[in-house]
Amino acid sequence: MIPRIKIACLPTPLEALPRLSSMLGGPLLYVKRDDLTGLALGGNKTRKLEFLIAEAQANGAKTLLTTGAAQSNHCRQTAAAAARFGFQCTLILSGEKPDNMAGNTLLDHLLGAQIIWVEKEKRDETLQSVFNDLRESGQRPYLIPYGGSNATGALAYAYALEELITQHQPIDWVVFASSSGGTQAGLILGVGLTQWEGQILGISVDEPEALLRERIRDLIESGSRILNKDFNAASTPILVNDDYTGAGYGMMGQPEKEAIHLFAQQEGLLLDPVYTGRAAAGLIDLIRCGYFKPTDTVVFWHTGGTPALFASPYMNLLQR
C-alpha cells in the first residue's frame, strides 16, 4: 500500500461546457475541476501532496522545502499543506521580491512560509544549499521538487484518471497544461493501470516537446517501479504540443487573454494566466484547426491557479 493522506476534496466535479462547445463549433467539451481540490484555493498539486506529505511524515521531516516561480501554485499549495500538518515551510522563489505581495505570494505569506528570493539561474543551486543548511541545523527537511513532479507525486494522477473514468462519461481526449511533467506522467500511468482507450495530450506552457517528453518518460519509468507494474515506457506514446509557449513562461499574450475571457464569459469559469490560460488557448486553436473530430468528447483538465489572476502584471493586462 502506497502511503497517502487525505487532503483534497475528491472526486472533483466533471462539468459540461455547452456554451463554449457550441460557440467553437467543435467537439463536446467538459472540464475536470481540479481547481476545486480545496487546499488554499485548490489546484492539481493538492493531489500530489497527498502522497508527498505522507512520505515526508514517514521520513520524520520537520520542514518542507520546494521551489517555483514567483506566482507558483505549487508553492502556495505546499505552504498550505505545511501549515495544515504542522511542518515549517521554506520556499525558494525566482525573481525579485515584489514591493506589494499579491496573488500567490500574498497567500504564501499568509500561510507562514519563509520565502527566499533568487535569480532563476541560481534557483536549483540555492535549493540544494538551503536543504543542506536545514539538514545540518536539525530541521530534517523534505525536499519537494519543482511542481511536485517526482515519481511519488506523479502517482496521484494515475489514480486521478481512475477517478475520471468512474464519473461515467465517455471521453476521447484529455487536454491540460504540462510543464514539470508529473501530471502528464501520472495520467499516462493511469492509462496503463486502467487500459483506458482515450488520448492524453499535454499542452506545454514552457518546455520544448523533446525535453518535456523525456522528462515525462523518466517519471513514467520510476512511477511504474513504485507501482510494481510492468509498464514499457520506451514504447508509450507521449503526446506533447509545444506550439503555444508564446513569449515564454509566465508571459501572457493575446491567445491566453482570449482564452481566459472566453471561458469566463461563456461558462463562468476562471482560468489562470500562466498554465490553464495557455493550455486553453492551445485547445481553442486546435479545435479551430480541426485537430479533433466534431464528434469527439474532450475533457479540459483544469489544474487550478486562479490566484495569479490577481497579481501584477496579469491583473492590469486582463483589463485592457
pLDDT digits (tens, 9 = 90+) for 271-292: 999 999 999 999 999 999 999 9
- Around Cβ 218, how many Cβ atoms within 10 Å? 15
Interior/surface letters 25-40, b for 16+ CB within 10 angstroms, e for the rest = ebbbbbbbbbbbbebb
Q: Which residues are tagged catalytic?
A: 72
Cell matching residue 96: 525579485
Domain boundaries, the chain: 14-43+150-317, 45-148
Q: What is the pLDDT of residue 252?
A: 95
In single-letter form, the type of residue at position 308 comes to: A
- 173 CB-near residues (< 8 Å, 6+ apart): 27, 198, 199, 200, 201, 292, 296, 297, 298, 299
Asked if domains 14-43+150-317 and 45-148 share a fold, the reply is: yes
Grade residue 304 by pLDDT with cuts at 50, 70 and 90.
very high
Residue 144 has pLDDT above 80, yes or no: yes
Under CATH, what is the fold of the domain 14-43+150-317? Rossmann fold (3.40.50)
Cα 234 from chain centre? 24
Quick check: 74 pLDDT over 80? yes
Q: Stretch 195-202: mean pLDDT, rounded?
A: 96
Distance of alpha carbon 61 from alpha carbon 163, whole angstroms: 30
The whole model's pTM is what?
Answer: 0.96
CB 46 within 8 A of CB 284: no
Q: Mean pLDDT over residues 153-173, rounded?
A: 97
Contact 292, 298 (CB under 8 A): yes
* Residues 45-148, CATH architecture: 3-Layer(aba) Sandwich (3.40)
Residues 217-246: tens digit of each pLDDT: 999 999 999 998 887 766 789 999 999 999
What mean pLDDT comes out for the span 75-81?
98
- Across the chain, which distance is largest between two alpha carbons, in Å? 60
Above pLDDT 70, what percent of the chain?
99
**What's residue 201's pLDDT?**
98
Residue type, 158: A
Please give the Cα distance from 175 to 203 (Å, whole number).
Answer: 7
The rounded distance, in Å, linking the Cα atoms of 136 and 126 is 15
Q: What pLDDT is recorded for position 291?
A: 98
The Cα 48–Cα 304 span in angstroms is: 13
Q: Give tens-digit pLDDT for 184-198.
A: 999 999 999 999 999
